Amino acid sequence: MAKKEIRYYSQTEIAKELKVSQATISRLLRFKDIKPVQQDGKTKKYSEKQLKHISYLLSDKKERNTENSLNDRLFKELKKEIDSLEQDKKDYQAQINQLQEQLKMAQINLNQSQQLQLEQSKKIKELEAPKEEKDGDVKEENSNENKSQQKKSFWSRVFGN
């Protein structure tokens, strides 16, 4: 049976393999506390299993970044929609205020019109009431005059005798 040769990777080789910068690999190893399997002097070596794990962590990070960018775009779109709706709300509130002012003016005009109608009807009643009294008096006077004029001759009515 032939022994399977285990391959070890340096940070530079991992970076080339995963097509990311060496700083990204160094940062990921530090934050995830991944320890090297071997160390040849200053060069730290990582197993193939660790390489797969690092690859998984990077792909997960890329997916999160993609998800974050999608969330950011959605957030921006929703923010625009909210701003638009708030502006519409302000416009509608301004229209409501304007219509309320118009309604107040219409109510004032209606009140004034009703007052004028009431005053006119009072004046009409005042004018009609004395006219009836005057007409009654005038009719009586006219009827008395008519009677006396009927008794007087034409010439006496003309010359006033």
Q: What is the reported pTM? A: 0.37
Question: 10 Å Cβ neighbour count for 58?
Answer: 17
Q: 45 in helix, strand or coil?
A: strand
2 sits in which H/E element: none
Q: Express each pLDDT in 8-61 by its tens digit.
A: 888 889 889 888 888 988 888 888 888 888 888 888 888 888 888 888 888 876
Q: 152 in helix, strand or coil?
A: coil
What is the 3-state composition of the chain as percent helix, strand, coil, each rounded to the nearest 5?
80, 5, 15
